[in-house]
Amino acid sequence: MPTRTNLFAAAFLRTNGRWSGAEVDLSEAEIADDVGDAVGEALGLTGDELVLLCVEVEDEWFALVRYEGDLDPRVFLSDAQAGATDPLGELFAELAGIAVDKETPDLGVRPGGDFELLTDFGLRAEELLELSVEEGMLPADVLSVVAERLAFGDELDRLR
């Protein structure tokens, strides 16, 4: 995968009601499972933890991935079209179960995946969707709002 200058990825581990974070290196991710492996490596996971991966690419799109024990990852992608135009976006689209048509790309921004992955933290699906499509909101801005709402804003700022 080509190296990006404007890629930020960090994973946040929730234990005992508190979040701790670490930057995640996705430069070697070639298949969807590599994303989870990179998260586990960055945080030293044992398998049962709740982890939220935040990824922002350029000023174009972001992904949120929730890992929880042995459950399949839950993924929200701010622009499903990233899967047709970006190799890393393709991995997140695959994780989210989003079908991507590279031959006839949809030029509109269309979020996809699991809109409810953060409802138990008080961030409703409608709010996540609104944030994702709000004009003037960059991926970094949206992730900052999400981090503040989930109480790991300081950790996100520390890693940026």
Does residue 122 belong to any structural domain of this protein?
yes
Instruction: Let me know if residue 144 belongs to a domain.
Output: yes
Report how many domains make up the chain: 1
CB atoms within 10 A of CB 119: 14
pLDDT of residue 2: 47
Q: Answer yes or no: is 74 within a domain.
A: yes
Instruction: Say what the pTM is.
Output: 0.93
Query: Tokens 């049962």 label which residue?
Result: 48
Reading the block at residue 138, the tokens are 């960059």
Does the structure show a pLDDT above 60 at 24? Answer: yes
pLDDT(23) > 50: yes
| 61 occurs within a structural domain | yes
> What six digits make up the tokens of 12?
């946040």
Q: How much is the pLDDT for 4?
A: 54
69 vs 30, which has greater pLDDT? 30
Residue-wise pLDDT for 96-143, tens only, equals 999 887 776 666 678 999 999 999 999 999 999 999 999 999 999 999
Residue 2 in any domain: the answer is: no
Name the residue among 9, 41, 45 with its Cα closest to residue 27: 9
- Whether residue 128 lies inside any domain: the answer is yes
**56 - beta bridge partners?**
8, 62
Question: What is each CA distance from 83 to 57, 88, 96, 99, 103, in whole angstroms?
Answer: 12, 7, 10, 8, 12
Nearest Cα to Cα of residue 18 among 45, 41, 44, 50? 50
**Is 1 a member of any domain?**
no
Beta carbons of 36 and 75 less than 8 angstroms apart: no
> Which of helix, strand or coil describes residue 142?
helix
